[in-house]
Amino acid sequence: MAWISRIEEILNGISRELELPKKGLFLKANTDRSGNKTISYSVCIFEPDYPAKNDNQTPVKNAVVMKIKEKAGFLEIAISSVQASDISIPSDAKIKRAASSLFTYISIEADSIYLAGFIRDNCNYALAHYKPKAGKFACCSRFIECSDAGKCVHENKIYSKACQYRINLEAGRIFFGKNRDKITEDKI
């Protein structure tokens, strides 16, 4: 199943690009009740404990981005209906809304040229809307480093989504350090 490797490569690429913790995005096999047969996969967000209790924490799903099931060369991807209405659906995909309207099912060929972009868009959407375990905090005490870099420098980019100063940085507002009172050019 080449699509599994392809999706894992996409998740690893997003993780590197966004400087996420190890296995911050991962593909989890879902098994039947007996635990012997894989019936589907879930793309999950993993927020490791902070401060880290150990470096080799086994990833657990803190949030599910999407569920994927293979059916005769097609991938049936289940995402929330809210998510489906906020991102672009590939032109070669078929859309089916669930009766409950909580989920939308997207059927797309496993080798579609649009699959990578669709997976990437869903992951970025889910990460942008992810609520970290910490809730909210003012900052982590690295505000000068963050201000000078113009971005969050915290080592756990999922945990640091709770940082209120990070929210200001991402909006282009810098209150400290050498860049104080500057608005970053990409926010203008």
**How do residues 8-52 score in pLDDT, each as one tens digit?**
999 999 999 999 988 899 999 999 998 889 999 999 999 888 877
Domains contained in the chain, CATH given: 2-128 (3.90.1150), 143-187 (no CATH)
pTM: 0.83
pLDDT category at 187 given cuts 50, 70, 90 is low
48 contacts 40 by C-beta, under 8 angstroms:
no
**End-to-end CA gap in the chain:** 44
**How do residues 88-141 score in pLDDT, each as one tens digit?**
998 899 998 767 788 999 999 999 999 999 999 999 999 999 988 888 888 888
Q: What's the pLDDT at 177?
A: 84
Please give the Cα distance from 126 to 95 (Å, whole number): 19
DSSP three-state, residue 44: strand
DSSP three-state, residue 149: helix
- For the segment 59-71, the average pLDDT, to the nearest whole number, is 87
Strands, E assignment, the chain: 25-31, 38-45, 63-71, 74-80, 94-97, 103-109
* Residue 73, amino acid: G
**How do residues 141-181 score in pLDDT, each as one tens digit?**
888 998 999 889 998 899 999 999 998 888 888 888 888 87
Q: What's the pLDDT at 55?
A: 67
DSSP state letter for 162: G
178 contacts 145 by C-beta, under 8 angstroms:
no
Cβ neighbours for 63, distance < 8 A, ≥ 6 positions apart: 44, 45, 126, 130
Angle at 177 between CA 143 and CA 51, to 5 degrees: 15
Q: What's the pLDDT at 2?
A: 86
Please give the Cα distance from 99 to 121 (Å, whole number): 24
* Residue 47, amino acid: E
